[in-house]
Amino acid sequence: MKTYIKNIILGIALVTLSGCYYDTVLPIEVEGEISYIQQVQVIFDSKCIGCHNGAEAPNLLTGLSYEDLINGGYITLEAPANSLLYTKINGGSMDGFASSTDKSTILKWIEQGANNN
Ligand code: HEC
């Protein structure tokens, strides 16, 4: 009987814990229209330009990043999730530099047409 109760408690604990884990891997929904300058560039400024400052392609410095991304073929408007900018940070070699919110923000910006807004 005691083992039975222990197993129930363990079961509940496991379900609760895996529930929490599942929550953390769910993609974060970013609302509204994304501003390139106010939401995307700030990600580059704080997390990417330590390396992508001209030395490493793409150049992600303010004022240069937009043209570099568009002309460098990093954005695929027809299939936003296949954009190299996104695949690199989402499972690719740059994944560790971007948070879930950063990834969602960048994907949503591309889905909305990758505007220079
Ligand atoms: C510590 C240095 C460093 C940081 C920080 C960094 N990167 Fe990179 N990045 C590199 C290097 C080195 C490469 C080339 C090797 C590779 O593709 O993994 C690269 C490659 C890339 C590429 C592909 C370039 C190509 O032409 O194939 C993209 C896109 C990219 N990074 C985006 C980002 C973004 C967005 C961030 C910030 C969230 C970021 N990187 C942060 C060093 C960095």
3-state secondary structure the chain: CHHHHHHHHHHHHHHHHHHHHHHHHCCCCCCCCCCHHHHHHHHHHHHCCCCCCCCCCCCCCCCCHHHHHHHCCCCCCCCHHHCHHHHHHCCCCCHHHCCHHHHHHHHHHHHCCCCCC
Residue range 44-96, pLDDT digits in tens: 999 999 999 999 999 999 999 999 999 999 999 999 999 999 999 999 999 99
Span 96-110, average pLDDT: 98
Gap from CA of 51 to ligand 1 centroid (Å): 7
Q: Is the pLDDT of residue 6 over 60?
A: yes
Residue 65: predicted pLDDT: 98
pTM of the full structure: 0.82
Looking from the CA of residue 72, the nearest atom of ligand 1 is: 26
Span 11-33, average pLDDT: 61
At 11, is the pLDDT very low, low, confident or very high (cuts 50, 70, 90)? low
Residue 31: predicted pLDDT: 86
Residue range 32-43, pLDDT digits in tens: 999 999 999 999
Residues 6+ apart with CB under 8 A from 115: 36, 109
Sequence spans of domains, the chain: 32-111
Looking from the CA of residue 44, the nearest atom of ligand 1 is: 37
Mean pLDDT (the chain, rounded): 88
Q: Is the pLDDT of residue 16 over 60?
A: no
